[in-house]
Amino acid sequence: MNYVIERAAQDEQQPEMRAVYGEELVRLAEEDERIVVLDADLMRANGTVCFRDRFPERTFDLGVAEANMVGVAAGLSATGLIPFPASFSCFAARRTFDQFFLSANYARQNVKLTGSDPGVAAAYNGGTHMSFEDLGLMRTIPGIVICEPADPVSLRSLLPQIAFRRGSSYLRLHRKPVTPIYAPSETFELGKGKVLCEGSDLTIIAAGAILVAEAIAAAELLEEKGVSATVIDMHTIKPLDEDLLVRWARTTGAVLTAENHQVQGGLGSAVAEVLGEHCPVPHIRVGVQDEFGEVGTQQYLQERFGLTAENIINQARRLVEKKTGTHRERKGA
């Protein structure tokens, strides 16, 4: 496959994203004393215990009270600090939405909210904890930055940019071990998608640890079957890299989006909005189709909701047929 980036060594062990998150926050806090960490009784789950050990006075565990946590973060920001509050994405987004909307964003504060364990990653915590709607909620907040890094290398590169860009943000963080994607030297720019490989038949746009890895696996298998796909890691969901999206939609004439989220409101919607206005091409959205989550292993849930390389392949072939069909119809007319 025509990779345009250097890949991670394939025998590399699977690192935990939360460990990278915690370590990186410690590193940032060593450089900048404004960095503070907040949590709502999930520091162990979110990988920030190392931060508490290193900077106990700059760590605020607010107990199981997420709304207050986000409000306190806004107050800390109003004194010039850079707060990183975190919780599971279901609570970070749903339960604190008004606080995050108003005290953080409307008040133009600098609150770096992290929602961990998004979508099917919630696995054994089940439907109550399975956020398929957080991106939809967050995308409606004016001026916010929304980022979902796919692996440790991209997380390391993007986190400082999130920290030092003035304004509030939502980091959708996979916390468990992930498939390494990028070579350690790879760098990322907030708001700019990363093209992993270039192909001519369709463009696959994915975000997050699960779907970027599945998209790459799908593209490799599609290649064997004679379908050539461009794969883009759209780590920044807002602001969306519209130029890159439109360029590749024009080049390949078909777009498939893949996300660990409802197809309503998330990456698929964001892409469809841009394509509809600037480059209407056939588009298929792989993601959760208007359903609530449920309990199970991550593997079971990926299969249950079609968040697999296999489903991406099937939908990609459908999409290419659709594209050719449209092409034929146009020719016939």
Q: Considering only CA atoms, which of 129, 142, 26, 45 is closest in space to residue 84?
A: 26
Distance in Å, CB of 63 to other proteins, minimum = 7
> Which residues of the shown chain bind other proteins in the complex (CB under 8 A)?
36, 57-58, 60, 62-63, 65, 67-68, 70-81, 83, 98-99, 102-103, 106-108
* Residue placing its CB nearer to other proteins in the complex, 63 or 280: 63
Q: How far apart are CA 197 and CA 79, in angstroms?
A: 45
Distance in Å, CB of 41 to other proteins, minimum = 12
Distance in Å, CB of 11 to other proteins, minimum = 44
* Residue placing its CB nearer to other proteins in the complex, 51 or 305: 51
CB 72 within 8 A of CB 96: no
Per DSSP, what are the bridge partners of residue 59? 37
* Residue placing its CB nearer to other proteins in the complex, 103 or 236: 103
* Residue placing its CB nearer to other proteins in the complex, 95 or 194: 95
Q: How far apart are CA 82 and CA 186, in angstroms?
A: 26
Q: Where are the alpha helices (DSSP H) in the chain?
A: 17-31, 43-46, 49-54, 66-78, 89, 97-99, 134-139, 152-164, 208-224, 242-252, 267-278, 298-305, 309-332
Distance in Å, CB of 101 to other proteins, minimum = 8
* Residue placing its CB nearer to other proteins in the complex, 81 or 217: 81
My answer on whether omega of the bond before 56 falls inside 30° of 0, hence cis, is no
* Residue placing its CB nearer to other proteins in the complex, 101 or 182: 101
Distance in Å, CB of 22 to other proteins, minimum = 20
Distance in Å, CB of 33 to other proteins, minimum = 9
* Residue placing its CB nearer to other proteins in the complex, 42 or 320: 42
Distance in Å, CB of 232 to other proteins, minimum = 36
Q: Considering only CA atoms, which of 288, 149, 261 is closest in space to residue 212?
A: 149
CB 195 within 8 A of CB 244: yes
Q: How far apart are CA 47 and CA 264, in angstroms?
A: 30
Answer left, alpha or beta for residue 289, where phi above 0 means left and psi between -120 and 50 means alpha: beta
